[in-house]
Amino acid sequence: MCGFAAWFDPTGGPPEREWLSAAAGLLAHRGPDDAGFLVEPGVGLAFRRLSIVDLAGGHQPLANEDGTMWIVYNGEVYNHEELRRELETLGHRFRTRCDTEAILHAYEQWGEGCVERLRGMFALAIWDRKRRRLFVARDRLGIKPLYWARAGRAFVFASEAKALFAFPGVRRSVHLPGLVEHLTLRYAASPATLFEGIEKLPPAHHLTVDEGGPVVRRYWDLDWEPTITLGDDEALEEVERRLTESVRLRLMSEVPLGALLSGGVDSSLVVALAARLIPRPVQTFSVGFDAPGPYSELPFARMVAERFGTEHREIVVGAADVARELPRLAWHQDEPVSEPAAIPTFLVARLARETVTVVLTGEGGDELFAGYPKYAFDPLARRLAALPGPLRGLLFDHLANRLPFRFRKFQVVARSARFRDEAERLAAWFAGFAGAERVRLLSPALRAHDHVAAAAFARALETTRARRPLDRMLDVDRRLWLPDDLLMKMDKMSMAASIEARVPLLDHPLVEWAARLPERFKVQGGEGKVLLKRLARRLLPREVVDRPKVGFTVPLAPWFRGPLRGLLTDTLLSSTALGRGYFDEQVLRGYVADHVEGRRDRSRELWTLLTLELWHRAYIDQVPHPPVAYEPPPRANPTPEATWNGQAGGS
C-alpha cells in the first residue's frame, strides 16, 4: 500500500522537484518505507512506499525495459502471477517479482484495456513517454482513492487531495453546492469533492490525458440480469467457495498479516476463513467503547477469537480519545466524511500496526447481500410514501418526531417515507439532514443550491442497469455510499496508521455473482443478508449471528450530552463557525439544544456539522499541515534517502 502524486503538462514544461518532494511529504504516512521520484520535461512522479510484496524489488517509479514507460501505483493486484505467466508467453521479460511490473507490462500489451484484467484494488498512473500521455485508473469498487485537478496548464493527480496543494495553481476553496450535498449524504459523491476544482476519479474509470486534454471512460459496470438459477444448498456452497478464494488471494504478503474483527457477521466470516487457510493463529484486533448501552461488540469479537484460536488484542475508546484525535483525523480524511467510526477505526489500526502491516476487513457484506435494515424496510417506506401529502405530514412531521427513542427504527422509516421521489427517499435513509429540516437550517445563499442535495442519487438511478427496487438500492449504495463513505474511511484511517487494509468481500467476481442472486438470498421478511447469515451459522457461534444488528456504532448520543458537550457547543456555536454564514443561527442553536437537553437524538446531524467545521479549520482557514509531525507507527522501517530518477533514469 502506497501513495503517489503525478504532474503532467501537455506542453512539456518541467515541474519543480520541490513540488514533488512536498507532495510526497504530505503522503509520508501512506508509505514510510521508501520514496522515489521521476522528473523530466512535461512530467513528474512522486511515490511513497509501504513495502508488502517483493520487499527488495518493488521500488517505484518503475520503468519498463527501455525506459519509455513509468508507473506509480497504490494497491494490490492479486492475480499478478497469472498475468506474469501470460505476458511472458507473449515475450515480456520481468526484472522483479512485484505486481507493479505486471501492471506496466499489461499496459504495454493491452493499452487501456489492461485494467480489465486486474483483480484487486488499485489506483495508478502510467507515463507513456512515446505517446506523450499520462494514463490513470482506479479499481472497480473504489477501494483505493484517486484525486485530480487542473494546475494552470498542467494536470495533477494524487492518492490524497492534500498532496495536490503542493502544486502551484491548485486552490483551497469550498465548493458551495457540495456543502448542501454533504449535509444530506454526509460525504461527497464522486466525481465531486468539497474542494472547488478538485475531483475524484470515480470507481471503475480510467483517464487518459495528452495534448488534447483529459478523456474519462468507465471500463466496468455490474449486470443484475439474468438472475442466477440455483438451489439453497448450491448457493450456500458457492458463496463459501467464492469467499474462501477471495480470502486466500488476500493472504498474499511478505510481511505480518492480521484481521480487524468487529464481532459482526462479515468480519467474523473473514476471520473464520482465514483461520482455515493460515497454518498459524490469525492475529485479530477489536475495538469497543467506554459507554453504557449496546455500543460495544467486544464480547462477540471475543467469542469469534476463542472459536478460532486467534491471537487477539483489543482497545476501548472513550470520549477523551475522540476529542484528542479529531483534529488529526480531520487532516487525514481530506474531506469531512461524516462517519463517526473513523476514529475507532484509526485507533484499532494503530493497535494492529504494532504487530502487523496488513489487515483483512469486513467491508462490503451489507452492500452485496442487503444487510442494512433499510433494505428490508424500504417496501414499507414506499407504501407509506404513497399516502396523501397531508396524512404523511401528520404521521411523519408530527407523530414520528415525538415518539420515544425506543421507536427510532420507525422514525428512520418515517424519515424516508416522507419522500415520494425515489432519489430523495433513498438518500434520506442515511442522511444527515433531509428535506425541510435541511432547508430550515440553510442560509439563503446555500438554500439556492438545495436542488443538488440528492442529485447524485438521481444520476445513479438514471444510469443503473438494475430494475428491481432492491437491486436499485444496492446498486446506488455500491456506487455512492460504499466508495465515497465506507471505503474512503477505511483507506484514510488505515493509511493514517501506515497499514494496508484488504477487503475480501469486494473481490469483483464475487460482487458480480452476488448482484445476480435471487432476492430471497438477500432479504426475506424483516431479515437481510440471508445467504451470508446461513454461511455464518455454519461457521460461527450462533450468538454472533442471531442477534440484533448493532453495527460499528459510536456512542455519540450520550457523549454529546456529557463529556463532549463542551467540544460540540464551543465548536458549532463559535463566532468562527457562525461567521461562515452557512446556517440560520437560531435554527442551528435549536438543533444543538434539542440534543443536549434530551428532547431528540440529533447526534448524526451534529456530528455532520462538527466534522464539516473541523474540515474548514484544517483545510480552508489555513495551509493544511499535520497537527503534529508525522512519526511512523512502531513497525515502520526508517525511510531511506529518496532517490531521483532522471530523464533516462532507472528504478
| Amino acid at site 253 | S
Output the pTM of the full model: 0.93
Q: Is there a domain that residue 237 lies in? A: no
pLDDT given for residue 393 in this prediction: 62
pLDDT given for residue 648 in this prediction: 29
> Which residues make beta-bridge pairs with 287?
315
pLDDT given for residue 404 in this prediction: 52
pLDDT given for residue 406 in this prediction: 52
Exposure b/e, 377-390, CB count within 10 A at least 16 = b: bbeebeebbeeeee
Q: State the Cα torsion 433-438-444-449 to the nearest 10°.
A: 60
Alpha helices in 218-285 (DSSP H): 232-249, 265-277
Q: Is there a domain that residue 216 lies in? A: yes
The H or E element containing residue 288 is: strand 283-289
Eight-state DSSP code of residue 6? E
Q: How many CA atoms lie within 13 A of 572 on its CB side?
A: 27
The single residue listed with the C-alpha cell 447524485 is 456
Q: Is there a domain that residue 128 lies in? A: yes
Q: Is there a domain that residue 548 lies in? A: no
Q: How many Å is the maximal CA-CA distance in the chain? A: 73
The number of domains in the chain is 1
Q: Is there a domain that residue 20 lies in? A: yes
List, for residues 474-493, the tens digit of each pLDDT value: 999 999 999 999 999 999 99
309, three cell numbers:
484460536
d(CA 363, CA 409): 23
The single residue listed with the C-alpha cell 474542494 is 195
Q: Is there a domain that residue 357 lies in? A: no
367, three cell numbers:
452492500
Of the candidates 201, 146, 195, the residue with the CA atom closest to the CA atom of residue 171: 195
Sheet (strand 154-158) strand order: 198-200, 147-151, 154-158, 2-8, 43-49, 34-40, 643-645
E strands, 192-268, in order = 198-200, 205-210, 213-218, 257-260
620, three cell numbers:
480552508
Specify the CATH number for the domain of residue 62: 3.60.20.10
110, three cell numbers:
493491452
Count Cβ atoms below 10 Å from residue 254 Cβ, excluding itself: 15
CB 175 within 8 A of CB 195: yes
Q: Is there a domain that residue 409 lies in? A: no
CB 29 within 8 A of CB 104: no
Q: Which residues of the chain have pLDDT under 50?
A: 405, 636-643, 645-651
Cβ-based neighbours of 306, under 8 Å, separated by 6 or more = none
Q: State the Cα torsion 439-443-445-448 to the nearest 10°.
A: 10
Tell me the CA distances in angstroms from 3 to 73, 608, 637, one per residue in order: 8, 28, 16
List, for residues 431-477, the tens digit of each pLDDT value: 899 888 999 999 999 999 999 999 999 999 999 999 999 999 999 99
Assign 130 to helix, strand or coil: coil
Sign of CA pseudo-dihedral 575, 579, 582, 584? positive
Positions marked active-site: 2
Q: Is there a domain that residue 186 lies in? A: yes
Assign 418 to helix, strand or coil: coil
pLDDT given for residue 602 in this prediction: 92
498, three cell numbers:
501506515
Domain residues for the domain of 69 are: 2-220
Prior bond of 61 cis (ω within 30°): yes
